[in-house]
Amino acid sequence: MDLQIVLPDESTDMPAETPAELGVEAERLGFHAVWLPDHLLPPAEYGSTYGGVYEPFITLAHLAARTSRIRLGTSVVILPLRNPVLVAKQVATLDRLSGGRVTLGVGTGWDSTEFASLGVDFAARGRLTDEAIVLIRQLFAGEEPIEKGVFAPRPLGAVPIMVGGHSDRAMRRVAEHADEWQGVDLTPEQFAERVAVIRGLTDRPVRVGIRIGWKDGLDAKTIATQIRELADAGADAVAVHPGPYPTAAARMTALAEATA
């Protein structure tokens, strides 16, 4: 099972060097991947509800230059709020610059106000997400689906596409389009139930993972126990958000020791 870190990105006063420093430390400690969230124009201040102060692709490019092994991903980009050709270009470029270490994590979004602020039809977000995933895969494969358009660079290899979400429609999207699925804050029983739904919808070898938060008052041994229980429930990967940036490095170290 892969143990991963969701980097804190919810505070506007976070020092600019913090994401790279935490990414370097996560690699040193042996974590498999780091993830960054995404909110382009949230209707309220960044914080525990809205993460993504730093634009994820630019930040991950900075991390790529400071690291050499750890995987770099988005958890998750709100795909219907972005131009899919631009996303494909950013991801392919990042994949090249990082030596093939990128996972594109996508979701449909959930806040109608954010969609309205950006002039995107909230009701169409599922369809827009599906269409964008198909187009991105075509561009990565060199199929050139856009007339009179040349797409470059192409990724070094197959960039895994991870889909987040818990709804039945999200499960169908995973079965139809994804290489990976990531749930959020589910119990082991809930996680296993959603995995069973995915397995019933497709025979493709979709990797399944989950993201959990480190709530205040819990210690590293408790988080390690949660991780083991989720692994027993079938998780291929568990991503832990270690909490606010001032305590993230210490919690990452404690977690690495507790799971060694």
Between CA 52 and CA 47 the distance in angstroms is 9
- Give the pair of three-digit tokens for residue 150: 């040349």
Q: Write down the pTM of the prediction.
A: 0.96
Of 222, 220, 221, 213, the residue nearest 242 (C-alpha): 213
Provide the number of structural domains found in the chain.
Answer: 1
Task: Give the pLDDT band (50/70/90) at residue 145.
Answer: confident
Task: Give the pLDDT band (50/70/90) at residue 70.
Answer: very high
pLDDT for 38-47, tens place per residue?
A: 999 999 999 9
Q: What is the pLDDT of residue 183?
A: 97
User: What's the residue count for the chain?
Assistant: 260
CATH, residue 64: 3.20.20.30
Give the whole-number percent of the chain exceeding pLDDT 90: 97
Of 116, 117, 58, the residue nearest 87 (C-alpha): 58
The yes-or-no verdict on residue 81 having pLDDT over 90 is yes
The yes-or-no verdict on residue 180 having pLDDT over 90 is yes
pLDDT for 105-129, tens place per residue?
A: 999 999 999 999 999 999 999 999 9
Task: Quote the domain boundaries for residue 64.
Answer: 2-258
